[in-house]
């Protein structure tokens, strides 16, 4: 099951760390970092159903595959 309720102990802290991790990177380097981050977290999750649900929720609403 994909968790969509709050699951971070200190959400503000976690968010600030995410933004700070990009400090000093160019936009292109930031996108590349985001891609690596998604791959690392995907592997950690490891569950195909959970990932499918996450991909569905993240895809723009107006642009959902039929």
| Residues near other proteins, by CB under 8 A | 3-8, 11-12, 15-16, 18-19, 22, 25, 27, 30-31, 34, 57
CB of 43 to other proteins, least distance (A): 21
Measured from the Cβ of residue 56, the count of other Cβ atoms closer than 10 Å reads 11
Q: Which is nearer to other proteins, 12 or 66 (CB)?
A: 12
CB of 48 to other proteins, least distance (A): 20
- Cα distances (angstroms) measured from residue 23 to each of 2, 26, 38: 30, 9, 18
Per this entry, what is the length of the chain?
66
């Amino acid at each position: 099951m994909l968790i969509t309720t709050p699951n971070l102990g200190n959400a503000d802290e976690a968010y600030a760390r995410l933004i700070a991790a990009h400090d000093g990177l160019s936009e292109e380097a930031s996108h590349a970092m985001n891609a690596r981050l998604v791959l690392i977290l995907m592997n950690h999750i490891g569950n195909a159903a959970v990932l499918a649900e996450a991909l569905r929720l993240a895809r723009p609403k107006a642009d959902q595959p039929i």
